[in-house]
Amino acid sequence: MRQGRAAWLAEAARYTRVRIQAVTARRDTPTAADGGVPGRAVVRLVWAGADPAGTFLDGRPGTVHFTKNGDGSWNRMH
């Protein structure tokens, strides 16, 4: 979670004036289909920013998945 803007990679690279407007996070419940891996989280957010053409929009939705490392830190899943 210490990666800041670098964690967004391609999704936001061409956007400017990006800001997070709202966030919720919850534990991702393991299922048999995904191998039952515990220690995951789903973060849903609403963000605003100007697209590459310069159009600024509020209320853009996004979902990011994280997995917990053995040391307690979190890594973004791709």
> Mind spelling out the 3-state secondary structure of the chain?
CCCHHHHHHHHCCCCEEEEEEEEEEEECCCCHHHCCCCCEEEEEEEEEEECCCCCEEEEEEEEEEEEECCCCCEEECC
Which of 16-25, 31-40, 56-65, 69-78 is the least confident region? 31-40
27 with 41: CB under 8 angstroms? Answer: yes
- The better pLDDT of the pair 21, 7 is held by 21
Proportion of the chain above pLDDT 70, given as a percent: 77
Contacts of 37 (CB under 8 A, 6+ apart): 30, 67
CB 29 within 8 A of CB 38: no
Residue with tokens 């400017």: 16
pLDDT level of residue 1 (50, 70, 90 thresholds): very low
Judge whether residue 71 has pLDDT over 80. Answer: yes
**pLDDT tens column, 25-55:** 998 877 767 666 678 899 999 999 999 999 9
